[in-house]
Amino acid sequence: MSDDGAAVVAAVEAVAERLERERDHLTELDSAIGDADHGGNMARGWAEAADAARDLDDPEPETVVKAVGKTLMSEVGGASGPLFGGSLVFASAEITDGITAETAVAFAETYLEKVEDRGDARLGDQTMVDALTPAVHTFKKSIESDDIGTLEALAKAVAAAERGVAFTVPIRARKGRASYLGWRSVGHQDPGATSTLFILEEVLATAADELDADVPAVDAASPTIPDDETEADAADEE
Amino acid sequence: MVGLVVVSHSERAAEGIVEVAAEMAGDTPIEAVGGDGQGGIGTVPDAIEAALEAADDGDGVVVVVDLGSAVMNADVAIELSEAEAVVADAPVLEGAVNAAVAATDPSATLDSVREQAEAARDIEKL
Chain B residues with CB inside 8 Å of A83's CB? 72
Helix (H) / strand (E) containing B63:
strand B61-65
Q: What is the ipTM of this complex?
A: 0.78
The angle formed by the CA atoms of residues A227, A105 and A213, to the nearest 5 degrees, is 80
Q: What's the DSSP call for residue A171?
A: S
Which among B37, B46, B68 has CB closest to A79?
B68
Chain A residues with CB inside 8 Å of B67's CB? 177
Q: How far apart are CA A18 and CA B33, in angstroms?
A: 33
Q: Note the pLDDT of residue A223.
A: 58
Structural domains of chain A, ranges and CATH numbers in brackets? 3-225 (1.25.40.340)
Q: Note the pLDDT of residue A78.
A: 78
Q: Are A82 and B46 within 8 A, CB to CB?
A: no
Reference A163, options A234, A103, A215; nearest CA is A234
Higher pLDDT, A221 or B83: B83
Residue B117: pLDDT band (50, 70, 90) is very high
CA of residue A180 relative to chain centroid, distance: 24
For residue B22, pLDDT beyond 70: yes
Reference B51, options B22, B21, B73, B27; nearest CA is B73
Q: Are A81 and B44 within 8 A, CB to CB?
A: yes
Higher pLDDT, A233 or B55: B55
Q: What is the mean pLDDT of each run of 10 residues along chain A (238 residues)?
A: 88 98 96 91 96 96 97 85 94 96 97 96 97 97 92 96 97 94 96 98 97 86 56 57
Q: Note the pLDDT of residue A234.
A: 58
For residue B3, give the 3-state DSSP assignment: strand
Instruction: Tally A–B CB contacts below 8 A.
Output: 49
The set of catalytic residues of B is 9
Q: pLDDT by residue (tens digit) across B23-45?
A: 999 999 999 999 988 888 989 99
Which among A81, A175, A176 has CB closest to B73?
A81
Q: Are B75 and A118 within 8 A, CB to CB?
A: yes
Q: Note the pLDDT of residue A232.
A: 55
Q: Note the pLDDT of residue A79.
A: 87
Q: How far apart are CA A61 and CA A5, in angstroms?
A: 5
Q: pLDDT by residue (tens digit) across A126-135?
A: 999 999 999 9
* Alpha-helical segments (H) within A22-60: 23-33, 38-54
Chain A residues with CB inside 8 Å of B37's CB? 77
Which among A74, A79, A177 has CB closest to B72?
A79
Higher pLDDT, B94 or A1: B94
Q: Are A37 and B37 within 8 A, CB to CB?
A: no
Strand-pairing partners, residue B8, are B34
